[in-house]
């Protein structure tokens, strides 16, 4: 009911807070951020607000032309915005490796990595690497990307003496995952596939990834954090594979769902706000701490997913 009443949480923010509101007064000048999937929905707003606060933002997108349009639109509004567009297809490990290599060759610092891109409830398909598409895109592509850019983030944190932040955009839909959480033995089994179960599985994986990564970083004593979040139920094009439902959501959703400005708030809060300094391995919603499902805090499942994912990318 808090969302309906607009009640603020301990952070001072609520369901209806916008990305601009949660970052008001924050100076991100000198920081470099990568935002995946920043050519639509909350990704655009995340990139726009980070740039508004002074960060240099890399728009990492599959469709470079769409990314260029976003860049031009943001610069038209904010002429001092620092934005670059780079190609990244998270469903292809070759594309992820190429992106990471090209970014590293730029010799830029990396303070913030926002793993935002995603697809939702698609028909059963395999990625270019032969892995179920939602798991490949929403989890494994981001897992590999993070792994490849981690040393750059660690080095940046040491040199700049500024905390690095990795932000995984998950979803409340992680609670829709298959009963066992992650179907390790049946990831590519079309006969057992359900669109929403697979989507929930990939979103659960986002949380488990952040949790285990946070543990590794803490053990190393590196000043880089990893957290996950639910952005809220938002009017975006994620439901493009469900034309009837999508039409209803686009027509009536604005009455009850978040807009992009509100949907990007928690991402921007976790990426920039001083209240989150030193906080790691946590799950957020409406710019406040939130308790995820029991599966999302299952340490055995967390470790198994880490090892499974490492096996797939190596």
Q: What is the pLDDT of residues 247-299, one digit of tens each?
A: 444 444 444 589 999 999 999 999 999 999 999 999 999 999 999 999 999 99
Name all domains of the chain by residue range, CATH numbers in brackets: 2-252+259-313 (3.40.50.720)
Phi, psi of 284 (to 5 degrees): -120, 155
pLDDT at 94: 98
Q: Write out the DSSP string of 215-240.
A: HHHHHHT-SEEEEEEE--SB-SSTTT
Cα–Cα distance, 261 to 49 (Å, whole number): 9
- Tell me what pLDDT residue 6 has: 66
Whether 193 is a known active-site residue: answer yes
Integer CA distances (angstroms), 96 to 5, 87, 260, in order: 42, 9, 26
Answer yes or no: are the C-beta atoms of 226 and 149 closer than 8 Å.
no
Global confidence as pTM: 0.93
pLDDT in tens, 165-211: 999 999 999 999 999 999 999 999 999 999 999 999 999 999 999 99
Catalytic residue among 15, 193, 269, 283: 193
CB within 8 Å of 260: residues ≥ 6 apart: 41, 42, 44, 45, 234, 235, 236
């Amino acid at each position: 009911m808090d969302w309906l009443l607009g009640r603020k949480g301990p952070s001072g923010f609520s369901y209806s807070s916008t990305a601009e509101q949660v970052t008001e007064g924050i100076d991100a000048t000198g920081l470099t951020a990568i935002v995946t999937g920043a050519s639509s929905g909350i990704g655009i707003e995340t990139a726009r607000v980070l740039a508004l606060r002074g960060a240099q933002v890399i728009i990492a997108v599959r469709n470079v032309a769409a990314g260029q349009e976003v860049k031009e639109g943001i610069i038209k509004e904010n002429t001092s915005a620092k934005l670059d567009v780079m190609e990244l297809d998270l469903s292809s490990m070759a594309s992820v490796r190429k992106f990471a290599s090209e970014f590293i060759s730029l010799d830029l610092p990396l303070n913030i990595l926002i793993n935002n891109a995603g697809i939702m409830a698609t028909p059963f398909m395999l990625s270019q690497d032969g892995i179920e598409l939602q798991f490949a895109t929403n989890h494994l592509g981001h897992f590999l990307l993070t792994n490849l850019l981690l040393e750059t983030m660690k080095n940046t944190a040491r040199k700049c003496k500024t905390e690095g932040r990795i932000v995984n955009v998950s979803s409340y839909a992680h609670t829709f995952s298959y009963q066992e959480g992650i179907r390790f033995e049946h990831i590519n089994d079309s006969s057992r596939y359900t669109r929403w179960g697979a989507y929930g599985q990939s979103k659960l994986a986002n949380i488990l990834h952040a949790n285990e990564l946070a543990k590794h970083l803490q053990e190393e004593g590196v000043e880089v954090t990893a957290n996950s979040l639910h952005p809220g139920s938002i009017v975006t094009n994620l439901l493009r594979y469900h034309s009837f439902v999508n039409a209803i959501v686009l027509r009536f959703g604005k009455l009850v769902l978040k807009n992009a400005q509100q949907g990007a708030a928690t991402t921007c809060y976790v990426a920039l706000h001083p209240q989150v300094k030193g906080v790691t391995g946590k799950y957020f919603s409406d710019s406040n701490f939130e308790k995820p499902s029991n599966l999302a805090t299952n340490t055995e499942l967390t470790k198994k997913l880490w090892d499974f994912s490492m096996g797939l990318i190596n």
